[in-house]
Homo-oligomer: A and B are copies of this chain.
């Protein structure tokens, strides 16, 4: 089958002629993502590049097992795969005594999450909207010790403004909605924004109308589905 080239991820031992002794040893990269399509893709690309040695894992447990076995120069870690629980999981992995450099890769995460990841010490943040070419370049960049993140994504210039929701909502209403998605009460939101609670309730009511929700839980789910926050 043609797919052999793709699916032969060759976990270890990479038999290959594409090894180039030019720069000393190869760069060892671990791709941890539950999307096999993506793993196939990246393995394929990196195998065509000189100086890379790629292994894969489909969930957090096996990823950590591999990290414990052998050191990696860079780990591409999916933000949402089995075993992952947001930034907390990243922190835990980075807290390991033998922690490698870790870059977060995600298809759904927001710029906010990207910033949190970078603040936690991630080597970079890679949205899956990146092209394969850009991703390989980013990996090279991070492998040199730099921190990478696509600027247009962080600036929110990404896909956020296209949301019809944010267009309709005022600044305050968006802030209130954000607090709502965090599961906060009106009282907490009021304190955070330094306004009175009745005001929060007003914004709440108006934004319900605007986005078509009938209670706070629905509003939170709508915001979540829209990819906000």
Contact = CB atoms under 8 A, between A and B. Distances in A.
Interface of A: 1-11, 13-14, 34-38, 40-41, 44-45, 47-49, 59, 80, 82-83, 85-86, 107-108, 128-136, 159, 162, 180-181, 183, 185, 213-218, 220-221, 224-225, 227
B5 A9 contact: yes
Contacts of A82: 159, 162
Nearest to A34: B129
21 contacts: A1-B13, A1-B48, A3-B9, A5-B9, A6-B44, A7-B133, A34-B129, A34-B159, A35-B128, A36-B129, A36-B130, A36-B131, A36-B134, A40-B41, A40-B133, A80-B108, A86-B225, A181-B217, A183-B213, A183-B215, A224-B224
Contacts of A11: 1-2
A223 B33 CA distance: 21
Given A107-B35, A128-B37, A6 B5 contact: yes
